[in-house]
């Protein structure tokens, strides 16, 4: 049944790819990835893929441009090697935060990247917790959009006291995501009233809408980048009487001084997935706990390969 299923990995997150392959019971495909002295990427597929259903695991995380270009080159190599179907597993979709033209003379890079992946020859995209769900519509090929909310909900049900929980969205944009987690945990829900005055961590928390006094708050968001906004709202939660503060973010980009900010914040633990590769410094941070998405991806890959519904993954 799975004899024509092949899983390949780019360099973006080889640890995740190996774990996915182990859960799927499929060895990683033999592929050479390297750069020439002029920094151009090169790919060579070292095994027969003619007529195969191929999956490329490659989040477009830091270094974003290198990993995106490598993904496009792998797609092209598989297409020219006569793979039957090319599925791109992109747990973290880079450039997703520029998904609309909200200023004069700016690009919509989320759409541009979708076009690049499609034109390169991809037949399907599997991704996890897109920053904006409408990005699915930027593709003219099928997109399977997976969610980690069930993973986080199961973890919190097993490891936190659910009697006094409140899930907090850092801003109104992520309200639906946080509300879904709160519904699964059968607990309270609150929203941070945030006004952004610049890029990344230049944001002011004006208010907390909802009851957090005396409660254990879980800040829930899709991406933690510099950590500025999340840390600021954690201090606001303290000011509004929250007793304990945790944070859960799907994609741990953790750029700049994010680790230092988290270490010095009221946040007791930051729960993140392994959608983005974490170096030793980030893995060794005393406040970071990793919840793996490898099994979720492995199940999705096998079900897609045999043309079965993946709706079970949303329950």
Catalytic residue selected from 6, 111, 194, 302: 194
Closest residue by Cα to residue 158 from 241, 271, 310, 45: 271
**Catalytic annotation present for 194:** yes
Residues annotated as catalytic are 194
């Amino acid at each position: 049944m799975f004899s024509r299923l092949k899983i390949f990995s780019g360099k973006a997150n080889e640890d995740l790819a190996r774990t996915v392959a182990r859960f799927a019971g499929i060895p990683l495909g033999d592929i050479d990835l390297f750069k020439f002295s002029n920094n151009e990427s090169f790919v060579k597929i070292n095994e027969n893929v003619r007529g195969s259903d191929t999956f490329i695991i490659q989040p477009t995380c830091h270094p974003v441009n290198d990993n995106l270009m490598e993904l496009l080159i792998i797609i092209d190599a598989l297409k020219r090697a006569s793979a039957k179907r090319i599925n791109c597993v992109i747990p973290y979709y880079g450039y997703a935060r520029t998904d609309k033209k909200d200023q004069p003379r700016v690009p919509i890079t989320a759409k541009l990247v979708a076009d690049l992946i499609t034109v390169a020859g991809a037949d399907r995209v599997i991704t996890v917790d897109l920053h904006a769900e409408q990005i699915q519509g930027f593709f003219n090929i099928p997109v399977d959009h997976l969610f980690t909310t069930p993973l986080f909900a199961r973890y919190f049900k097993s490891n936190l006291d659910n009697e006094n929980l409140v899930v907090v969205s850092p801003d109104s944009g992520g309200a639906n995501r946080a509300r879904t987690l709160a519904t699964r945990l059968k607990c309270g829900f609150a929203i941070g009233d945030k006004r952004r005055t610049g890029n990344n961590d230049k944001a002011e928390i004006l208010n907390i809408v909802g009851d957090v006094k005396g409660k254990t708050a879980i800040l829930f968001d899709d991406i933690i980048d510099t950590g500025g906004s999340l840390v600021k709202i954690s201090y606001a939660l303290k000011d509004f009487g929250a007793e304990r503060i945790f944070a859960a973010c799907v994609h741990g980009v953790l750029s700049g001084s994010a680790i230092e900010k988290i270490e010095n914040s009221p946040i007791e633990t930051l729960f993140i997935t392994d959608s983005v590769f974490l170096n030793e410094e980030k893995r060794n941070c005393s406040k970071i706990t990793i919840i793996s998405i490898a099994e979720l991806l492995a199940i999705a890959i096998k079900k897609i390969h045999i043309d079965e519904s993946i709706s079970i993954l949303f329950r």
